[in-house]
Structure 1
Amino acid sequence: MSDPQYFLAEAEKLLKPQSGLLSFFSGGSSTRQEDACDFIIQAANSYRLKKQFELAGHQFIRAADIQSKLNNHNDSANHLVEAYKCYKGVSPSDAIDALTRAIHIFLTQNGQFRRAANFTVDLAELYESVGDNANAIISYEQAGDYFTTDHAEALANKAFLKCADLSALNGDYSKAIELYDIIIKQSIGNSLTRWSLKDYFFKNILCVLSSGDPIEAKKRIETFASDDPSFQQTREFTLIQDILECIDQGNVDEFSEKVFQYDQFSKLDKLKTQLLLKIKTSVVDRDDEDLL
């Protein structure tokens, strides 16, 4: 039988308080709750098969609550993860709540830092999907910290990079610069990530310029060229040099032309476009509010 209502009715019978001889013959309370939980899980999976994902999520939450009362923390966390999967496409707020609870259990009860880190990335993506960049930034940074604790540097850098990019988009340039510095330090000398260095250098310096510090930008381009001499042969290096010259001359037209030429060969993404616009309007020419 695959009717979720049948399974829920059976669960309710088991969850109903027992007394006297009836309690003796029907088994202990914890056993009955475990059996009820099994029926609730069957109901949840039945709802899931029917694509009634919100109802399925609610039952997985019920199962998690029962297992939590029984101190079965691993089972509780796993049910919360299943609830998150059900809610993800239909109720992001419920998905966030379920996943936050699961992550807390992984960290405090099970010591499963890798699982906590992976699901914290999922949590950050959920926040991003509903436009909550502030909490997304916090979650990506937490994920990076958890990966670092588990000695997974490559995954940590990936999470820190997302955090840095979102921070830069939100105008928190000091936070972005700090994180790009961490990523660059981890990437220099690593044959698997050195190809990405020019992009990290580029975004790092664009954030420095967006914060209004051309002198620091000049210092950094020299440092990065020393750390990785191949950087000097890149379009990114050339564009930064051109930008610094335009800043010195206050030449907005030349700035726009250099950016346009770069974009013809290396398409600018949303972040870099926003940073370059910030540099143009607030550093090159504070009175010019035109787009690139």
Structure 2
Amino acid sequence: MPSKSNAQTLLEKADKKASSSAGWFSSSSTKFEEAGDLYQQAANAFKLDKQFRDAGDAFAREAECREKCKEANEAANAWWNAAKAYKRGYPDLAVQALSQTITHLTTSGRFRQAADREKEIAHIYQHELNNIRNACESLERAGDWYSQEDATATANACYKDAADLHAELEEYPKAIQRYEQVADQSLMSALTKYSVKEYWLKACLCALAMKDSVTAKRNIQKYMSQDPTFASTRECKFVNAIIDAIQAEDQQAFTGCVVEYDQVTKLDNWKTTILLKVKHTIEGEPAIL
């Protein structure tokens, strides 16, 4: 029979301590404190052995012990350690552990850290669980918390990513609202003003994907009144050119504009995808393959 690993031995000691009855001279709080320490040691030993699921479970048990002792900060930390272990192959469990961490952080008013953890959840939803809707909600929540803590640049980055995902979900009005919100914020600083044309371009493309070139044109006028330099940008000229092609129902002109723009400013995946959707609005019904 193989000998028990160090991690397994520590885990058994922790379980024994947690389920023991408190003696005459020790409180149940002391018992859970000691059990929590043992679970932490077991978790670290499992990590050394690259047994990440077991490590996460042991950190989660530690967190529960810390909660029984009313040690909120230590509990938040233990849940976060659990999440980091679960991230190595168990994304669902990582999200659950991060949610527990966030509960402790928001209760104690640590919203900046809660926002950091919420952003991690968004990343897991988007890149590992392929749940765009949940990723979007987490990004907006993180953005709100950063905003409360005056971390405006970080909040804007979250809102911008959320806008991209709203567009992916074809929730174009929500996407436009977020792009405009980020643009308004960015106009306030000389450092971020240069990025405004990109947000306005994306907002216009969302309007065009909704088959609404009238709103797109009206929005361009609004953006030019907010920043007169917008009219001379490649982004503004590009949107105007594709609106003309759409209104003329001229697919060739549309494709020409896109190719020309791409030669100077490489189109990313987001823009390529949405421009294909816009092109379909000219073609009417997409061809049945």
- TM-score tier after normalising by the smaller chain length: over 0.9
Q: Which amino acid aligns with 2:153?
A: A
Q: Determine which of 16, 25, 30 is the counterpart of 1:13.
A: 16
Tell me the distance in 1 between the aligned counterparts of 2:125 and 2:183.
Answer: 26
Q: Which amino acid aligns with 1:12?
A: D
Aligned partner of 1:211 in structure 2 is 210
SS at match of 1:24: coil
| C-alpha spacing 1:150/1:83, structure 2 compared with 1 (3 Å) | same
Please state how far the C-alpha of 1:195 moved relative to its aligned partner.
1.4
Q: Determine which of 126, 129, 141 is the counterpart of 1:128.
A: 126
| C-alpha spacing 1:56/1:257, structure 2 compared with 1 (3 Å) | same
Aligned partner of 2:111 in structure 1 is 113
Tell me the distance in 2 between the aligned counterparts of 1:16 and 1:64.
Answer: 15
Give the TM-score normalised by structure 1: 0.93
Aligned partner of 2:143 in structure 1 is 144
Please state how far the C-alpha of 1:151 moved relative to its aligned partner.
1.5
1:114-154 Cα offsets, whole Å, 9 max, x none, are 00111111100010021000100100010111111112111
Do the aligned partners of 1:80 and 1:101 also contact (CA within 8 Å) in 2?
yes
Tell me the distance in 2 between the aligned counterparts of 1:288 and 1:29.
Answer: 68
Aligned length: 283
Aligned partner of 1:221 in structure 2 is 220
Tell me the distance in 2 between the aligned counterparts of 1:254 and 1:89.
Answer: 49
| C-alpha spacing 1:288/1:62, structure 2 compared with 1 (3 Å) | closer
Aligned partner of 2:244 in structure 1 is 245
1:255 aligns with 2:258: no
Tell me the distance in 2 between the aligned counterparts of 1:139 and 1:154.
Answer: 17
Aligned partner of 1:269 in structure 2 is 268
Query: Aligned ranges for residues 43-54 of structure 1 at < 5 Å?
Result: 43-54=42-53
1:4 aligns with 2:3: no
Give the TM-score normalised by structure 2: 0.93
Tell me the distance in 2 between the aligned counterparts of 1:111 and 1:35.
Answer: 28
Q: Which amino acid aligns with 1:190?
A: S
Tell me the distance in 1 between the aligned counterparts of 2:164 and 2:153.
Answer: 17
SS at match of 2:21: coil
Please state how far the C-alpha of 1:257 moved relative to its aligned partner.
1.1
Aligned partner of 1:191 in structure 2 is 190
1:167 aligns with 2:170: no
Do the aligned partners of 2:160 and 2:178 also contact (CA within 8 Å) in 1?
yes
Q: Which amino acid aligns with 2:187?
A: I
Tell me the distance in 2 between the aligned counterparts of 1:32 and 1:237.
Answer: 67
Please state how far the C-alpha of 1:177 moved relative to its aligned partner.
0.6
Cα-Cα RMSD: 1.6
Q: Give me the identity figure in percent.
A: 36
SS at match of 1:118: helix
Tell me the distance in 1 between the aligned counterparts of 2:243 and 2:210.
Answer: 14
| C-alpha spacing 1:226/1:16, structure 2 compared with 1 (3 Å) | closer
1:89-136 Cα offsets, whole Å, 9 max, x none, are 2100000110011112211x2111000111111100010021000100
| C-alpha spacing 1:268/1:29, structure 2 compared with 1 (3 Å) | same
1:2-59 Cα offsets, whole Å, 9 max, x none, are 811232232233223337xxx125x222112101110110010011112111110000
Do the aligned partners of 1:56 and 1:83 also contact (CA within 8 Å) in 2?
yes
SS at match of 1:223: helix
What runs of 5+ residues in structure 1 fail to find an aligned partner?
none
| C-alpha spacing 1:29/1:288, structure 2 compared with 1 (3 Å) | closer
Do the aligned partners of 1:281 and 1:289 also contact (CA within 8 Å) in 2?
no
| C-alpha spacing 1:219/1:9, structure 2 compared with 1 (3 Å) | same
Do the aligned partners of 2:111 and 2:145 also contact (CA within 8 Å) in 1?
yes
SS at match of 2:24: helix
